A and B are shown apart, each in its own frame.
Chain A
Amino acid sequence: MTVRRILVQPVVLAALGVVVIVLVLTAVDDFRSVQLTQMAYLGIAAGGLTVLTGLNGQISLGHGALMAVGAYTTALLLQDDEPMLPLLGVLVVATVVTLVVGAAIGVAAARLHGPYLAGATLALAVAVPGIALYFGDTLGGEQGLRVRVPDAPGWVLDAAYFVTGQDLTPSKYVAFLGWGTLVVAYLGLAHLSRGRVGRRWRAVRDDEVAAEVAGISLGRARVSAFVVSAAAAGAAGFVMALSVRLAAPSGYSLTLSLTLLTAVVLGGLGSLTGALLGAALLTFLPQVVTDAGVSAGLDDIRAAELAPLIYGLVLVAVILLAPAGLSAVSAPRGTGRAGPPRRENPHEHSAQAAAQEVGRHDRRPHLVGPGRRLRRRRPQ
């Protein structure tokens, strides 16, 4: 892979993406565009998480809580009919506030690993909604803060009409905002992970000792990965707040954090394409599965639980059978070559194939790394 290709590829992809987004959002009805917005915010947050977990090896079950920070910031800035900031400004503030919170958490998280990090971020996911309840006067308590989505500016409406030949409904406006945010976020994430910063993240993930010997500060690499990931979660929270028109504790429960983790594992850790694929599955699969359940004779409520059941099963299956995730099977990367066939031992295969495919540092993300082997301590 040449340097030029590395630099050019994401930009080209993004430009193509924009065209596809405009075409799709023009063609679909309002309800689909609401669903597509959901896919966008899950995709943005999953993109951030996949960089953190896949490239840097830190797990976070607290990204739902970080999304809540972005969403509540958005809601606080959009309380009045005449907001004090334009939407773009709100996006920037929401992202920066979450980034700062993420930095604080990242500093603590950098000292933890594996199950300890998982447990601590799990506690974060469970604890954060309580803050909104305790400061109910400012943050709206149980029923949350309503978000007033400002009307699209006149020139946006005119431009949209000019390009698509339709009036821009509020739902579509938010969908465009969401997908615009996604494209920018993915460009940023792709740029970072392909550059020097990304190499450091991977080096720390693969072998701490070697990375330290090579002069990489472990703490700094870990905190920076967490900060970048948190910023993406904040932007996702912004889109979610606009789409749901509400920031309420119940929206940012443990379930959301687990959903995000599911998306990145399904898609294949470390792959942005995979994160988007995972987000798409999480958005569109439930309806299909629920309908199937209902026609199989389950009542609505039980049928609605089939989707999480399938996510969970797939999550377990991916870990046991194909730790590189679904995108390894379905989406060939970069070279245009089809993914190699699965072999008896998927762990070895993915490490070998990855090494051949992209060279020494740009190793394909995989779960079972040569580093991070279990460190067994003797009990006293």
Chain B
Amino acid sequence: MVLVAACGAGGRSDDDGDGGGGTTVGVTDDSIAIGGTFPLTGVAAPGYSEIPTGAKAYFDFVNAAGGVNGRTIDFTVKDDGYDPTKTSSLTNELVLKDQVFATVGSLGTPTHSAVVDFLNDEEVPDLFVSSGSLGWGDDPESRPMTFGWQPDYEIEGKVIGQYVADNMPDAKVGLFLQDDDFGEDAEKGVRQFVDDQVVDVQRYTSGNTDVGPQIAALQAKKPDIVLAFTTPSYTALAQLTSLTLGFKPQWYVSNVGSDPALVGSLLEKFSEGAVPGDASALNGVMSSEYIPGMDAPDNPWVQLWQKVWDQNGGQGELTNYRIYGMSWAYTFVQALQAAGEDLTREGLVDALEQVGSSLEGPNLAPYRYSEDSHLGISGMELVKLQNGKGEPLTKVLTTDVGDAEIAEDDSGQADDAPPESGIPDVDPVG
């Protein structure tokens, strides 16, 4: 009987048990198990559910070429429906049951907030969170395993804030924000530059699809420009409601909510054709870009993604969301290469800190990875959407959180082209 046998076993040792060689959970000689949580259902699913399909296609592309150091990447996707409580139990499952080496690309600010401390407590690398919250990298000391990927919402707020302050100094500014860190971080950045121009802030709760009262309240303050930090469904709902109310300000829509093709198709269906459903639905709306997307079919990166999708994709066409997933999948492959043959969780994190900021990739501005910051891409360009294409309003602008200055990027990052094979080739560190 276990009970009897165990009695008197003496004091327990305080040793953690894994010696010091580093943890290799999830890694075998020929495979690496990783996972992530995404909203495949629910209000955040339109668009975002395509992200893991893109990443998977790229991993399959790499696996078909022999994987990384002879190991294939096995990517498990879990659907949390954008519900933090579900994210928590699914991440438990990934870590404790599926025994993944790392989580990669897990999506959402409220959802990932629920699990970020658990992953760090368990010392599971938590890479490239698909969200621009500051929490994924501004404090590597307390969250050493977590890395962001896309530009954080604060720098996006700063960039558009400065643009408005410089170019529309007399404009009245309204803010339409998701009621969580997404909206809050962005507001912090925006207010650095246009605090005195802001006339109204309205917040929506994800899940409540009636935004009429909020848009009516914004309209009452007569803003000249509304900065919307919204997910695609809410971009569409806000546009539709504005149409109903005859509210016609200049709009800026955050990168994460401004995919013209998706928002257009949502709008078209709402209105049964009364609103044009093609990508022209967001004509004139300002947004930002930090990786090349579907509007630049001649870009070598987009051509690579098209090839990957044609070879390894599932149903449907290549979309900006799939490109997004492929882009961080590419970064993950780079990180694995940098970590070398003897892959450990600690080694992966170290490698990213050492070479992360010099990685070449589709990102227009460099990553900020170092020992002091785990934040991702450092900048973006502002664009005006016209028939689905982003026409640049600015050069690529880079900055950092806090009062770091905004400057034009001089690293030449935007000119990087992908390698011939489509698979990165990063030298192992150390």
A interface residue numbers (CB < 8 A to B): 22-23, 26-27, 29-31, 34, 38, 133, 136, 141-144, 146, 148, 157-158, 161-167, 170-171, 244-246, 248, 250-251, 300-301, 304
Contact = CB atoms under 8 A, between A and B. Distances in A.
State the 10 A-B residue pairs at the shortest beta-carbon distance, nearest first.
A165-B6, A251-B85, A143-B110, A161-B12, A31-B97, A31-B96, A250-B83, A248-B84, A246-B114, A143-B113
Q: What size tier do the contact residues of chain B reach?
A: 35 or more
A171 B83 CA distance: 21
B209 interface: no
Contacts of A300: 40, 79
A26 B6 CA distance: 11
Given A163-B3, A164-B3, 7 more contacts: A30-B96, A34-B89, A133-B205, A163-B7, A171-B96, A245-B114, A245-B117
30 contacts: A22-B3, A23-B2, A26-B3, A34-B89, A34-B92, A133-B179, A142-B110, A142-B178, A142-B180, A144-B110, A146-B113, A157-B12, A161-B12, A162-B6, A162-B9, A163-B6, A164-B6, A165-B6, A167-B12, A244-B85, A244-B88, A245-B117, A245-B118, A246-B84, A246-B88, A246-B114, A250-B83, A251-B84, A301-B79, A304-B79
Interface string B8-32: 1101100000000000000000000
A251 B90 CA distance: 13
Consensus secondary structure, chain A interface: helix
Contacts of B109: 143
Contacts of A144: 84, 110, 113-114
Nearest to B84: A248
Contact of B180 (A141, A158, A251): A141
Contacts of A167: 12
Contacts of A26: 2-3, 6
Nearest to B93: A31
A119 to B, nearest CB: 21
B206 interface: yes
Given A29-B96, A146-B114, A158 B79 contact: no
B311 interface: no
Contacts, number: 100
Contact of B5 (A30, A161, A165): A165
Interface string B147-190: 00000000000000000000000000000001111000000000
Contacts of B41: 301
Contact of B85 (A27, A165, A246, A304): A246
B121 interface: yes
Contacts of A133: 179, 205
B361 to A, nearest CB: 29
A158 B110 contact: no
Nearest to A19: B3
A143 B84 contact: yes
B84 A250 contact: yes
A133 B207 CA distance: 12
Contacts of A29: 96
B179 A141 contact: yes
Contact of A23 (B3, B86, B114, B181): B3
Given A171-B96, A250-B85, A251-B84, A165 B9 contact: yes
A23 B88 CA distance: 27
Nearest to A169: B96
Contacts of B8: 162
Given A27-B2, A161-B9, A164-B6, A244 B110 contact: no
Contacts of A23: 2-3
